[in-house]
A = this chain, B = another copy of it.
């Protein structure tokens, strides 16, 4: 039943099916036939719309990254106040929204994480995302902490977020989002409590 304008529909279908397939069988056992069957289409269509398997995988990773970015942005727009603390909490929330912290998204993410160490395209995407998280955190911490302390806090919080998420992806019982968020909030507050004695150079907000 060929209609016009199938491309965006098929692309969405196939990206979704890719995540489900990875969730089900792992990246290693995810074949294009499997993905196609799950999407209810033929295998040939993948090469048609994505140029090949690699194209589909890259598009899937892009989708996850863009969903994450959007989740963070959305929460940072509807903010109770403009305080660094609220901004940082919004970043944490966004990272634990992850557009539903579904098993399939987490597993797909982790699979790409491992795979990106050896595929230049994926590595670039991964790295850009890491830097964005770190630099967002750093910028907000700078409002309250001295440069070096802000960097340390940002590195620590980034590690905490990734670690919680990683362990959640692995755990048989899945990720307890509230508990994870609680631990991240907790780390955030202890870092913010570390008010510097040396004055910051540029930014000052309250107090």
| Chain A interface residues toward B at CB < 8 A | 25-29, 107, 110-111, 113-119, 126-127, 130, 152, 155-156, 158-164, 166-167, 169-172, 179-180, 182-183, 186-187, 190
Residues in B with CB closer than 8 Å to A110 are 113-114, 117
A-B CB proximity, top 4 nearest = A163-B163, A26-B118, A159-B163, A114-B114
Interface of chain A, main secondary structure: helix
Among B107, B130, B167, the residue within 8 A (CB) of A117 is B107
Number of copies of this kind of chain in the complex: 2
Please name all residues of chain B whose beta carbon is closer than 8 Å to the beta carbon of A179 when the two chains form the complex. Answer: 155
B contact residues around A169 at 8 Å (CB): 117
| Least Cβ–Cβ distance between A179 and chain B, in angstroms | 7
Q: CA separation between A130 and B171, bound complex, in Å?
A: 9
Beyond A159-B166, A162-B163, A162-B167, 11 extra complex contacts between A and B, CB < 8 Å: A26-B114, A26-B118, A110-B114, A111-B114, A113-B166, A130-B170, A130-B171, A159-B167, A161-B163, A163-B163, A166-B166
Nearest neighbor of A168 in chain B, beta-carbon distance: B159
